[in-house]
Chain A
Amino acid sequence: MIACVAVIGHQNNPLYIQSFTEADDALKLHHIVHCSLDVVEERVNNPKKSGPTLNETFLGLLYPTENYKVYGYLTNTKVKFILVTTDLDVRDADVRNFFRRFHAAYVDAVSNPFHVPGKKITSKTFAERVSNIVKSFGLSSAG
């Protein structure tokens, strides 16, 4: 299950962060997202030879914590997407598929002429799309 998703701007400013857990752990999740940003920087500046291909937007598993797994994605426009899941057994393809759909939703949201670059994403349409993508996470064949 997805616990939290976030969009972080190129100056590490949060543009969108949403948790999906029942528990009152938003603060903890935000902290995890925050900590993951350093890992993204490190990953991008020192790409592992064995890891995902050089400069691929999908950065793979950033780090596992006791209860979560944290994945990262970095767009060409230096915007980071962070995904925190509670599943410890996650298929790589599902995560890639998630980010692909999430990216498409993000791109449409910032195509709104009234969206100001670098400002928080307040779009209702975006929130709904994200919620749908989150719900269908891991259900294979979700397009």
Chain B
Amino acid sequence: MAREVSESCIDSLLTEMVSSYCNRFDANKPELAGRRIEAIGYQVGHQLAERYTMERPRFSDHLEAIKFICKDFWSEVFKKQIDNLKTNHRGTFVLQDNKFRWLARMSVDPSIENVDLSQDTSALAENKATQAMGMHLYFPCGIIRGALSNLGIPCAVSADISNLPACSFVVRIKA
């Protein structure tokens, strides 16, 4: 049987990784912090793609590889599949997870969230919260990009959380 750890391990590790980069290593440089967190995800995705494709035939096209990410890969990592896959047939794919586990479970670090929560700036506060959540999404975006690039599909990946708790990952394949 495959080795397991408690889910709290991964949750607290990811929470701490994001807060370390945002508050200590790259404080006030959110873009740099984001790039570095994405790079961590990229390495993980690259390695997971290698592991999860071990006993299966090679994919014959991009769509097949993307479907693999939506089904098998997502199930291994999140215990559920992507709920909805859309494409414009010109190299852009949107993968929607209706209840993205890492946003649902992860406590967004209050020290990022509570920067300057004055009463009269609730819009700003909301903005801060969104920003903090955004920091948590660099990692899964990196995972997807790392996995696809190892499968021979160079791409850019971004996340859209305008419909929480749903989260959409937008994959743009580089021509």
Q: Which residues does A use to contact B, with CB under 8 Å?
A: 10, 53-57, 74-78, 100, 103-104, 107, 110-111, 113, 117
Contacts and interface: CB of A to CB of B under 8 A. Distances in A.
Interface of B: 43, 46-47, 49-51, 53-60, 150-152
B54 A103 contact: yes
B50 A55 contact: no
Contact of A75 (B43, B47, B53, B60): B53
- Interface of B, secondary structure class, is loop
B92 to A, nearest CB: 23
Contacts of B56: 57, 76
A111 B47 contact: yes
A77 B151 contact: yes
A110 B57 contact: no
The residue in B53, B57, B60 that gathers the most chain A C-beta atoms within 10 A of its C-beta is B57
Contact of A111 (B51, B55, B57): B51
Nearest to B59: A76
Contacts of A117: 46, 150
B59 A55 contact: yes
A77 B152 CA distance: 7
Contacts of A10: 152
B3 to A, nearest CB: 13
Given A10-B152, A113-B43, A77 B50 contact: yes
- Interface of A, secondary structure class, is loop
A75 B150 CA distance: 11
A10 B46 CA distance: 14
6 contacts: A54-B57, A76-B49, A78-B152, A107-B50, A110-B50, A111-B47
Given A77-B151, A113-B43, A107 B54 contact: yes
Contacts of A104: 54
Given A57-B57, A74-B58, A110 B47 contact: yes
A117 B42 CA distance: 12
Contacts of A54: 57, 60
B161 to A, nearest CB: 29
Nearest to B60: A55
B151 A56 contact: no
Given A55-B59, A56-B58, A75-B50, 16 more contacts: A10-B152, A54-B57, A55-B58, A56-B57, A57-B57, A75-B54, A76-B53, A76-B59, A77-B49, A77-B50, A77-B53, A78-B152, A100-B55, A104-B54, A107-B51, A111-B47
A102 B169 CA distance: 34
A55 B54 contact: no
B43 A76 contact: no
Contact of A77 (B55, B57, B150): B150
A57 B54 CA distance: 9
Nearest to A104: B54
B11 to A, nearest CB: 20
A117 B150 CA distance: 9
